[in-house]
Amino acid sequence: MTALATAAYDEAFAPDGSPRAAYAPALDAFAEHGPCLHDTSIAIGGGAQARPLPVDGLPRILTAAEWEPLAAGLEQRARLLEALLLAGPGAHPVTATSHYRERLLEGVELPGPPLAVVGFDVARGPDGAFVLLEANVLTPGHVALPAAREVARLWEHVAHAPRDTAAPLRDALKAALGEDAAILPNDPPSWETAWLARFLGLPLLEPHDPLPRTVWYRTAEDRVFDDAGHRTPLGDRLLEPLLAGEVRVLNRPGCGVVEDKRLLADAEPLIRDLLGETPRLATAETFLGPDALELDPRELVFKPSHGAGGRGVVVGPAASSEAIATVTAELRRAPHRWVAQRYLPLSLHPTGPALELRPVDLRAFAVRTPAGWVVPPGGVSRYPTDPRAAIVNTSAGGGIKAVWVT
């Protein structure tokens, strides 16, 4: 165990070393049937950089008592993000200045709600409490990763194991998309987009296919206008039918203004002001600009205000002096491009054939169905395949675990 993990919460074992009640049957089955680390045939990346995506067979298990308050907090956060979008750029300085503002669409009535799917990154702190790290609305990944299916195959012989942990999320997404829907992918489609299409039973749109009523775009391009005001390829495909009310787009162009991590610094007052509610889920302590520079960088995690996949993230306790000097200089030069969060040791989970403890996060989803926002039980947990790594993202070399809610 590294120094970074010494204070971390153990997901499967109590402080006295005994299995937590929810994990006891799974650990017994593991002991009886042997190692359950499974590599899928899916390759992340391309060419010489391609690697298989590891799926660990021991799932992360949350009880209903743990899940229900977390789900309520995430549902509230989804409603907050939607409220921010509906309030327009005047709701907050970040939404007014964001790179993702689609000014030519502001004030235009468009079909459907502005958001339909939000992917939340959640950590569990040393005290066992859940903390929101960030929200992802720009084509949030891991919706249909193969963890649930592959792990279900490994546990077919165990009577108590859930049989289809992905069903609630699949049902919610189908309800959000409606009957006449398709996915607009990159050309060629990524492996994850292909998985998503199979998961939902939806077609992938070819360049000249007619558009259905609902389009879920899963592309590298996430704006319809570029910085110069010119249409992007995505805008060429979607703008006219969108403005004519002929197509509903998930998530609506311009939604990226609420993915800006700088909003996390004001999350609690925004919940009180826009929703008139008390926050139900803690937010990772987030610092902006000069406030971050006044703190010990070894106690912080530096993140680009926009971006995903762990790219550009500097974990202070694990970073070199050179990396910290570089990121703090960048923060001074362009404070709007960075946030810093108080370092929180991620909880630990037994992983691999030897049940080594590895840090894990949780990617959970909120989906806006016709009946309102829902947070289906489960999701995916990510862990580093390199025990020395401080970042769990799959794009940074991580693997995935299924999540069971019992």
Instruction: Give residue 157's pLDDT.
Output: 64
Instruction: Give residue 17's pLDDT.
Output: 93
Looking at residue 196, its amino acid is L
Angle at CA of residue 397, ends 366 and 169, nearest 5°: 20
Instruction: Give residue 29's pLDDT.
Output: 81
- pTM, two decimal places: 0.93
Instruction: Give residue 2's pLDDT.
Output: 44
Mean pLDDT by 10 residues, the chain (406 residues): 66 95 87 60 63 83 96 98 95 94 91 95 97 92 67 65 80 95 91 87 94 95 90 95 94 95 97 98 96 95 85 91 96 95 96 91 96 94 86 80 89
Residue extents of the structural domains in the chain: 7-283+361-405, 285-343
Instruction: Give residue 35's pLDDT.
Output: 54
Instruction: Give residue 6's pLDDT.
Output: 58
Instruction: Give residue 369's pLDDT.
Output: 96
Cα(58)–Cα(336) distance, integer angstroms: 40
Instruction: Give residue 31's pLDDT.
Output: 81
Instruction: Give residue 1's pLDDT.
Output: 40
Which burial class, exposed, middle or buried, applies to 213 when counting CB atoms under 10 A from its CB (0-12, 13-18, 19+)?
Answer: middle
CATH topology of domain 285-343: Dna Ligase; domain 1 (3.30.1490)
SS (H, E, C) the chain: CCHHHCCCCECCECCCCCECCCCHHHHHHHHHHCCCEEEEEEEECCHHHCEEEEEEEEEEEECHHHHHHHHHHHHHHHHHHHHHHHHCHHHCHHHHHCCCCCHHHCCCCCCCCCCCEEEEEEEECCCCCEEEEEEECCCCCCCCCCHHHHHHHHCCCCCCCCCCCCHHHHHHHHHHHCCCEEEEECCCCCHHHHHHHHHHCCCECCCCCCCCCEEEEECCCCCCECCCCCECHHHHHHHHHHHCCCCEEECCCCHHHHCCHHHHHHHHHHHHHHHCCCCCCEECCEECHHHHHCCCHHHEEEEECCCCCCCCCEEHHHCCHHHHHHHHHHHHHCHHHEEEEECCCCCEEEECCCCEEEECEEEEEEEEECCEEECCCCCEEEEECCCCCCCCCHHHCEEEEEEEEC
